[in-house]
Amino acid sequence: MNNNNETTLEHMRRMKLYGMQKAFKLALDNQSLSILTADELIAHLVAQEWDDRQNRSVERTVKNAKFRYPAQIENILFETERGIDKNFIYRLAECDFIRKAENLIITGSTGTGKSYMASAIGHQACLKGLKVYYTSTSRLLSQLKMAKADGSALKELIRLERVDALILDDFGIQPFDHQSRMLLMDIIEDRHGKKSTIFTSQLPVSLWYEIIGDNTIADAILDRVVHDAHRIELQGESLRKKVKLKSE
């Protein structure tokens, strides 16, 4: 390798053109530069840099989403007894509902794969360049309560408002106290009509009114969440129990 090429590679590295640097080094090692025109070489290096940046962007987005599972749409079990419409799930995986700021509600008994499905759809959104954040409802509300105590709650709410898809897992697993209701109302109000929220819950939607409590607040929250939300109702036995039985 001549000094000019070594200098070029070093400049690429220092300018953080990692995809371009890797492609140029590979072309040098393979001695394929001579078969490329100047236009072809530039197009090849730019394409490799573009792909590298896109891949690193997706990796950052997935990492920041903090998914509970490394879930993939293609790994969802579309068994008949689960009551899943495969075509519907794949339409959701296009993420148009997120771009339209529509909500999604996934319900079913424990172990039926609600969190996995929400994570899979969220991961698909990351691949499409959308920002996603996954959290359990109770943990998020606890964190916001602590933030309220130290004066940083507004900053946290603004951060949540900017997320394209907020996944609230295990919604309603604990009853809401007054402060939790008000914080939930703030989250929903900030996102209504602007961003998408994905809920998973062991409870059917018909019981959400009771679990939220306070008629006025429950009315306001559910009116913004449930009215035109997409719904998935998972059925069948616990998948975790099935896996355990198969392994025995």
Calculate what percentage of the chain has a pLDDT beyond 90.
59
CATH of the domain at 205: 3.40.50.300
Global confidence as pTM = 0.80
Residue 166: which H helix or E strand, with range?
strand 165-169
Q: Is the dihedral of CA 25, 28, 29, 32 positive or negative?
A: positive
Structure tokens at 10: 């070093």
Structure tokens at 44: 């090849």
Domain tally for the chain?
2
Residue 244 confidence class, pLDDT cut points 50, 70, 90: very low
Spatial CA neighbour of 136 closest among 199, 223, 182, 45 = 199
Q: Please write the tens of the pLDDT for every residue from 30-44.
A: 888 778 888 888 998
Count the Cβ atoms, other than its own, within 10 Å of residue 15: 10
Q: Please write the tens of the pLDDT for every residue from 211-232.
A: 998 899 999 999 999 988 999 9
Last residue of a domain, one of 64, 80, 105: 64
Asked if 205 and 179 sit in the same domain, the reply is: yes
Asked if 101 and 171 sit in the same domain, the reply is: yes
Instruction: Say whether pLDDT at 144 is over 90.
Output: yes
Asked if 29 and 59 sit in the same domain, the reply is: yes
Q: Which residue has the higher pLDDT, 82 or 238?
A: 82
Asked if 233 and 115 sit in the same domain, the reply is: yes
Asked if 138 and 148 sit in the same domain, the reply is: yes
Last residue of a domain, one of 64, 82, 107: 64
Asked if 134 and 213 sit in the same domain, the reply is: yes
Asked if 241 and 119 sit in the same domain, the reply is: yes
Domain of 70 in residue numbering reads as 66-247
Last residue of a domain, one of 13, 33, 64: 64
Asked if 60 and 72 sit in the same domain, the reply is: no
Region 140-155: mean pLDDT is 92
Asked if 60 and 112 sit in the same domain, the reply is: no
